[in-house]
Amino acid sequence: MSVYSWFRRKIKTSPRQERQPQPSTQLLEEEASVSVHIEDRLSWLQSKLYNTADIVYRTFTAAADQPCALVFIRGMVNQETLQQDVLKAVLYISASDGADLRRQLFDYGRFPVTSLQVETSMQQGLQAILDGHALLLVEGDVRMLNFPVTSYEKRAIDEAPNESVIRGPRESFVESLQTNTTLIRRRIKTAELKMEFLKIGRRTKTDVVVSYIEGICKPELVQELMKRLSEIDIDGVMGSNYLEEFIEDNPYSPFPQLQYTERPDIVVASLLEGRIAVVTDGTPIVLIAPVTFFMLMQSAEDYYQRYISSTWIRWIRFVFIFISLLLPSTYIAVTTVHPEIIPKRLLITITSSREIVPFPALVEAFLMELAFEALREAAIRIPKSIGQAVSIIGALIIGTAAVQAGIVSAAMVIIVSLTGIASFIIPHYDLGLAFRLLRFPIMLLAGIFGLFGIACGLILVYLHLLSLRSFGTPYLSPITPLVPGDLKDTLVRSPWWLMKRRPHLQGPGTRRQGQQTRRWVREEEEDED
């Protein structure tokens, strides 16, 4: 049994505290002590929301001289809707006494507001205010009207900055949960599309939606994901990465075990394959589970170009992913341990370029790779207006100066530059980051053991990939284990009319095409015969 398995068993068998603590006796007594008088309930709310200048307490008198109050957070509600559809509707009620007013107020048909709710608990009313709703309190009644008139500034839908395409749609997710679920719902117009709602975070109470297509997604996959999400006990969730680190199968692996995207079309395509999407409020990044290594090597552009071109681009990606991982290590191994396998003329060129370099090839490669990583990180952090110029000028100046000063050789600059370009070809950023991280230990093995060290490093990486699972799905499927039917969208991208069934490991393997697909082609062939 591995150390990781032992720790996982101990964690699962150890007693866990409840995710949401039960209301204390003191809290229940406080709510029971609040009377039906509006002053007492406003005092209770003010005692909970003290030192909060953005809370608005709007008191007024309705028909029959009945005191009422609207409580909401300034900047989180639509003021026009609140005045026109709520406040004006209350003030226009004509009632003979307080009982008649309350009877008319709690008639749902009087207010042109959707999703109107009646709250009977002060704690529920407090949570409604914090959610950005408007709460109406009426003298003499414990019931409160909860108006979901939330409205706040949000970013407009724009093109995905990190997943651009040439022929595909330009829309991307934003930080609004409602907008993101609408972008998904607009593309899948079926009742089988399900969206289950969760709140995660004791302080932030972040809204999370789990989306899947019933009848395509495996029910046990949905149950497992909901179970892992419900066990999360944390103060706050600021982004989808918080959830990713809690629910992934192997948290100590450098490889991503969930896919993330900011494109609605990728999420919709994944749902149609039987996968699940996790949409988190406050972030444009949507998680998709399960995922495999070959899914992370696919790009949205693959499905908007002709299948011949897409297949060629995929082969280029796989070639360059090996270049990104192994090119510096191979150069170190060949020049340091196995110089006899290099042609004489090339060996003389490499040796003459390294004549004045004071460091061995391993140290030289480490210095150049670290400098390249620093330049890449600096290009991300500095302002965009000068980031590209600084990164290009910095790389040119540092590379040229280092070669002229004799610190590194020109061949090493070429090797590191090719490696950096190759790492940019990987579509998924976290997958590229994993290979960039693994590049350094493999370089160390190459400097000590040569090509034998590289082979050992590749075997260890391969064994680790074989052991990885993403919600029970093997990470290297459909290659290992071999699923011949799913190979049509792995190393190659077959034409759509040949991919008649959904992936076997994600969904039930049902057909996604009818029997009449491309029937006109068969009819033409029969006519020619």
pLDDT score for 185: 94
Which pLDDT band, with edges at 50, 70 and 90, does 340 fall under?
confident
Q: Residue 17, SS3? A: coil
Quick one: pLDDT band at residue 86, thresholds 50, 70, 90?
Answer: confident
Q: What is the mean pLDDT of residues 194-202?
A: 93
> Looking at the DSSP assignment, which residues form a beta bridge with residue 145?
118, 136
pLDDT band at 389 (very low <50, low <70, confident <90, very high): low
Single out the residue of 134, 61, 48 nearest to residue 98, CA to CA: 61
For 188-215, what is the mean pLDDT?
A: 92
Q: Which two tokens stand for residue 517?
A: 């697909």
- Answer yes or no: is pLDDT of 343 > 60: yes
- Mean pLDDT of the residues in the chain: 84
Higher-pLDDT residue of 511, 304: 304
Q: Pairing state of beta strands 55-61 and 117-119?
A: unpaired
- Out of 343-357, 395-409, 451-465, least confident range: 395-409
For the cut 60, the answer to whether the pLDDT of residue 242 exceeds it is yes
The Cα–Cα gap between 216 and 30 comes to 48
pLDDT band at 159 (very low <50, low <70, confident <90, very high): confident
Q: Quote the CA–CA distance of 177 and 193 in Å, as a whole number.
A: 16
Query: What percent of the chain lies above the pLDDT cut of 90?
Result: 42
Joined tokens for residue 515? 């029997």
Q: How many CB atoms lie within 10 A of CB 221?
A: 20
- Non-local (6+) Cβ contacts of 66 within 8 A are 95, 98, 101, 102, 138, 139, 140
The per-residue pLDDT for 509 is: 58
Q: Which residue has the tokens 């809204």?
A: 207
pLDDT at 524 over 80: no
Higher pLDDT, 443 or 524: 443
Q: Is pLDDT at 272 greater than 60 in this prediction?
A: yes
Decide if 274 contacts 216 (C-beta within 8 A). yes
For residue range 48-65, what is the model confidence (pLDDT) as tens digits? 998 888 899 999 998 888
- Whose tokens are 């400098």? That residue is 371
Closest among 438, 419, 480, 421 to 255, alpha carbons compared = 438
167-181 pLDDT, tens digit per residue, is: 888 899 999 999 999
User: Any idea where the domains of the chain sit in the sequence?
Assistant: 27-147, 177-291, 316-474
Please say if the pLDDT value at position 392 is more than 80: no
- Which helix (DSSP H) or strand (DSSP E) does residue 335 occupy? helix 307-336
pLDDT in tens, 125-148: 999 999 889 999 998 888 899 999
Angle at CA of residue 299, ends 211 and 240, nearest 5°: 40
Write the DSSP assignment of 74-98 as a string of letters. Answer: TTSB-HHHIIIIIIHHHHT---SSH
CA torsion sign, 97 to 99 to 105 to 110? negative
Q: Which of 502, 527, 524, 528 is nearest to 513 (CA)?
A: 502
Beta carbons within 8 Å of 371's beta carbon, 6+ residues apart: 398
* Range of 32-41, 156-165, 378-387 with top mean pLDDT: 156-165
Q: Is the pLDDT of residue 388 over 90?
A: no
